[in-house]
Amino acid sequence: MATSNEFGPDDFDRFAREAGEGLRKLLRQALDNPRATATWADIAASATRPRTSPEPARDVEVVDAEPGVWAIVRDDDGGARVERVFSSELDALRANQTNTDPSRTVQFLEFGVEIGG
């Protein structure tokens, strides 16, 4: 086995195999899309570009808001009734977008507060 400072025959074989696979992939892409204009500089740049893992998700800034949930609420004669609860307004609006019932609305409900009819 070669050390980190040596480049042995096994390393060369592995390099040649990987390079061959990469060239076959580039040729296949060029034949599939002949209008694509990839220059040798583009090919060299993509070959020398370091492979990195995707960037981790960044933390989202939390805004102080009243504790509560977004809900689909039906206001019938018997009083208000919560049908579904969502963590965001957008999710609640999407779930209610095809609603044709005027007694069914999207509301923000604070924890511990009674919902009125």
**Domain definitions of the chain by residue range:** 9-48, 68-110
Has this prediction a pTM greater than 0.85?
no
Of the candidates 85, 98, 97, the one whose C-alpha atom is nearest the C-alpha of residue 107 is: 85
Side-chain-facing half-sphere of 81: CA atoms under 13 Å: 7
> pLDDT tens-digit profile of 38-49?
566 666 666 666
* 15-67 tens-digit pLDDT: 777 777 777 777 777 667 666 555 666 666 666 666 665 556 666 555 556 68
The percent of residues above 70 in pLDDT, for the chain, comes to: 62
Predicted confidence at residue 111, as pLDDT, reads 83
Alpha helix (H) residue ranges in the chain: 9-32, 40-48, 89-95
What is the model's pLDDT at position 4? 58
Q: What is the pLDDT of residues 69-103, one digit of tens each?
A: 899 999 888 788 888 999 888 999 999 999 888 88
On average, the pLDDT of the chain sits at: 75
